[in-house]
Structure 1
């Protein structure tokens, strides 16, 4: 089983400059490979393998114009070319859209590190060829400090998978996969059903309820700050709007606009981190109860977003992220993760007698059964039905 770790880096100014340069080299190599594939296709040629494109790049490195590529790790360009070829192949096999050229403005800076060359300690990570010098005092430049101590496993027996250095607009991160053994508990409790919604993010069949974090004063205050900054930034854009000779409008960015953009990015990132942290807290809490299985609904989120009145509230809840975290954390601990059928009537079914209602409006927060007369919270009722979903599958 491969477990992925994401840890923030704390590079100094010189190291940060070098990291941006490495990301630029990866972007250039990706665009070079994509251009080669397109040119080859126009001339009627077949798909070029990444090995053929790398041979062309090796010849370019020998020229004076592209000699600067030798200052960077060969593995950066090698993996970027491979990524471009995979993206190009996926398009012709119908899996993705046609790959676009990467731009400095719209592309997230990132690059690859070789698994054999990267070294991790308790506090630092060593990257390949950040400095061309082989002197011991200069080699310290290759070691970048980690923000979290002892987070990533290290040692001779540890095997790393696909290490990447990524910039998210504020900070640099190291994402790295580690091969680990699957954990199994000695004793599991009974299974649980988890119903996700807007009023409460998660209602569990064992009685646990996790409220909507967006109703908290802390989050509401942050959302108000973001709205105000967006309005302020919009006014600044309008003040600096310039009309070109062709009649089109463009925005000239001043220092004040750049400061506002950075401040807005920090607020948005803070809100996102609060949401992500809360989701991690819920999923980890549920996994620690050691259930035999976890059942969740396979929600049609894209269809739910068409509801104009509730689209924002649904989007804020990040149901897909909740399901993703639940799935991989269950896999880590040897817990069976089950997705109930999309058309399974978990909310309309009575958890006591099994009667199914024909209609159940969203405003009805209490489930009242017409057959047995039970009155129960609709979300809690749905979670119990999801827990019993395994039995209904076994009967059919």
Structure 2
């Protein structure tokens, strides 16, 4: 299967490269914000829609003005790509897939995208336009043999780390077909409960670092705005946030890859995360679990490797239905973790029973070709 696949690595720029990158990030951000303001004003004042070609012409005219000559000091490609990203943002807004575009801040993550005309790759070294020396990249894994790099994105996160993302045309072979089938019930105490009886503990990456994060944030709040000490305190908070995100991502990728490798068919319950997060008692734990990201990874990995992922309607009574005889009880409060079926007398663990029901209904839906409710995670 031919796919576009991104490989992300840390890199360590020289002081000179760091200066050029900072200028490039700033120019790309300025172009995005300036043209966003231009397009917004054109609509509010004249009800006129301004597209990519108009903003591109406006950028060319802007570069010729003496007060904006600094836009010519960096590669033109990342600046031009910022306009394409703005066009995509508006397309998503008009397609009702996203909110109205917002201005980019220098305090958030910075990035610059280079197309093939603005970088050189010889199989071992990567050079970006106007950078001079190759980037010092930490190659944590090898690229596919003969991989064709189409786009390179350099970024700097709020923790001060530099990353390079290489978008490649990749050929992924489907994994050998297996016979194993699995149902997954997502939870908070246990991140995932499997129909085979396995319970996977929740990593609770945020919860485990919450007290330390609160302490750092309190220290940050006491620092004077604009001071060097505030900048240092802010960096410490950002580094801890990055550590939490990295640990969570590592857990999700390892688990989703293992389940895809081991099972041919996976059934999982669709959940309305936005509605569930309205519960003030559980919203922090639900956000920490990152169920939506887990399902997203299962979806694209199943597509890559020839697996089947089935989404089950969130209203299906998986917890209240006996997986042995099919009897459904009227009510089952959340504090009931084990129960005995009044019809057949089978003792059930609430979550394992739910996972088995999810698998059963998933196989039934797949076999009869019925419509499956779309994933709403």
TM-score, normalised by the number of residues in structure 2: 0.88
Show the 5 A alignment for 1:1-396.
Answer: 1-42=3-44, 44=46, 46-105=48-107, 107-120=108-121, 124-130=125-131, 139-140=132-133, 143-153=134-144, 155=146, 158-170=147-159, 171-214=161-204, 222-234=209-221, 236-237=222-223, 240=224, 252-289=225-262, 291-393=263-365, 394-395=367-368
Q: Helix, strand or coil: the match of 2:135?
A: strand
| Kept in 2: contact 1:123–1:149 (CA 8 A) | no
- Using the TM superposition, give the Cα deviation of residue 39 of structure 1 relative to its aligned residue in structure 2, in angstroms: 3.9
User: C-alpha offsets along residues 64-112 of structure 1, whole Å, 9 cap, x if unaligned?
Assistant: 333322222221121111222332344345443322232323x421111
Partner of 1:133: none
Q: Helix, strand or coil: the match of 1:66?
A: helix
- Using the TM superposition, give the Cα deviation of residue 42 of structure 1 relative to its aligned residue in structure 2, in angstroms: 4.6
Partners of 2:117 and 2:148 in 1: how far apart?
9
| Kept in 2: contact 1:368–1:376 (CA 8 A) | yes
| Kept in 1: contact 2:27–2:79 (CA 8 A) | yes
TM-score, normalised by the number of residues in structure 1: 0.84
User: C-alpha offsets along residues 312-342 of structure 1, whole Å, 9 cap, x if unaligned?
Assistant: 2222211111111111221221111111112
Mean CA deviation greater in 19-28 or 37-46:
37-46
User: C-alpha offsets along residues 113-166 of structure 1, whole Å, 9 cap, x if unaligned?
Assistant: 013443446654221223xxxxxxxx32xx1121224433364xx333443222
Partner of 1:135: none
Partners of 1:38 and 1:264 in 2: how far apart?
34
Q: Helix, strand or coil: the match of 2:324?
A: coil
Gaps of 5+ in 1: 131-138, 241-251
Partners of 2:31 and 2:83 in 1: how far apart?
6
Number of corresponding residues:
365
User: C-alpha offsets along residues 338-376 of structure 1, whole Å, 9 cap, x if unaligned?
Assistant: 111121111111111111121111111113211111112
| Kept in 1: contact 2:311–2:362 (CA 8 A) | no
Partners of 1:282 and 1:91 in 2: how far apart?
33
